[in-house]
């Protein structure tokens, strides 16, 4: 079942399929969820920090709060997705949450909490222009989720030079 749904993401390589199928088989938990799973949170935390470098506060409590806000808004965003999209996203994040999935899909060797921003960015850049459709799909999903969720927060608008909606 999981393997079949995963196929719908558009696997472009038998090698990646083997990894994905094998990895998911080792992961018996439910692949659905209306918010990020505990295993998905470090993935999105690391991906968020890498995608938003230059937009996030550089350090300290402001940065911690901004990343926490990002994860909370990602939960909201996931909750608004239809069941089929929640399933696919949960499977992607589940795969990325495993060591083999992280290495082969994202190209990141270190565990997410330990990976440097540079390492995660290098992995994302590899996905972004990969010849494998699956890796480009995964990259765009992560990019769009992070960018969309982060800049949904009015607190981020000042750095975009966006004044917010005109009051009526």
Partner 1 sequence: MSRIPDPIVQGLQRGWKVHGGPHAPLPETLQCDVAIIGTGAGAGVTAELLTQAGLKVVLVEEGPLRSSSDFRQLESVAYPALYQESAARKTADKAINILQGRCVGGSTVVNWTSSFRTPTATLDFWRARFGLADFDSDRLAPYFTQAEQRLHIGPWLTPPNENNDLLRRGAARLGIPAAAIARNVHGCWNLGSCGMGCPTNAKQSMLVTTLPAALDRGATLLVETRAERFELANGQVRALVATPLGGTGARQVRIRAAHYVLAAGAINSPAVLLRSQAPDPHGLLGRRTFLHPVVMSAATMPDKVEGWQGAPQTIYTDHFLETQPIDGPMGFKLEAPPLHPVIFASTVVGIGQEQAGLLRQFPHTHVLLALLRDGFHAESPGGRVRLRSDGSPELDYPLNDFVMEGARRALLAMAEIQFAAGARAVTPVHELGTPLADWPAAKQAIAALPMQPLLAKVVSAHVMGGCGMAADAARGVVAPDGTHWQIGNLSVHDGSIFPTSVGANPQLSIYGIVNRLAQGLAHRLTGRQVALGPPAA
Binding site for partner 1 (CB under 8 A): 8-10, 50-55, 73, 76-77, 80-85, 117, 121, 124-125, 128-129, 133, 136-137, 140-141, 143-144, 147-148, 150-153, 156-157, 159-162, 165-166, 168
What's the min distance (Å) between Cβ of 76 and partner 1?
8
What's the min distance (Å) between Cβ of 152 and partner 1?
4
Cβ closer to partner 1: 71 or 147? 147
Cβ closer to partner 1: 61 or 160? 160
Cβ closer to partner 1: 26 or 33? 33
3-state helix, strand, coil split of the chain in percent (to 5) is 65, 0, 35
Q: H or E stretch including 32?
A: none
- Please name which of 31, 59, 57, 9 lies closest in space to residue 158, comparing C-alpha atoms: 57
Dig out the tokens for 70 from the structure.
């990002």
Cβ closer to partner 1: 77 or 105? 77
Cβ closer to partner 1: 65 or 85? 85
Task: Kindly list the distances between the CA atom of residue 156 and the CA atoms of 43, 66, 77, 80, in Å, as whole numbers in the listed order.
Answer: 22, 9, 17, 21
Angle made by CA atoms 24, 26, 30, in degrees to the nearest 5: 60
What's the min distance (Å) between Cβ of 43 and partner 1?
15
What's the min distance (Å) between Cβ of 27 and partner 1?
20
- Are 51 and 142 spatial neighbours (Cβ–Cβ below 8 Å)? yes
What's the min distance (Å) between Cβ of 100 and partner 1?
23
- Are 160 and 151 spatial neighbours (Cβ–Cβ below 8 Å)? yes
């Amino acid at each position: 079942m999981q393997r079949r749904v995963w196929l719908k993401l558009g696997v472009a390589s038998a090698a990646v399929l083997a990894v994905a199928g094998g990895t998911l088989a080792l992961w018996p938990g439910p692949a659905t969820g209306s918010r990020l799973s505990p295993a998905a949170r470090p993935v999105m935390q690391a991906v968020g920090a890498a995608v938003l470098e230059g937009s996030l506060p550089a350090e300290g409590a402001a940065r911690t709060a901004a990343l926490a806000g990002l994860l909370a808004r990602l939960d909201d965003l996931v909750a608004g997705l239809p069941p089929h999209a929640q399933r696919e996203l949960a499977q992607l994040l589940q795969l990325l949450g495993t060591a083999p999935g992280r290495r082969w899909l994202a190209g990141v060797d270190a565990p997410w909490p330990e990976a440097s921003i540079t390492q995660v960015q290098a992995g994302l850049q590899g996905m972004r222009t990969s010849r494998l459709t699956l890796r480009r799909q995964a990259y765009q999903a992560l990019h769009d989720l992070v960018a969309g969720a982060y800049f949904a927060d009015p607190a981020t608008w000042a750095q975009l030079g966006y004044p917010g909606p005109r009051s009526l």
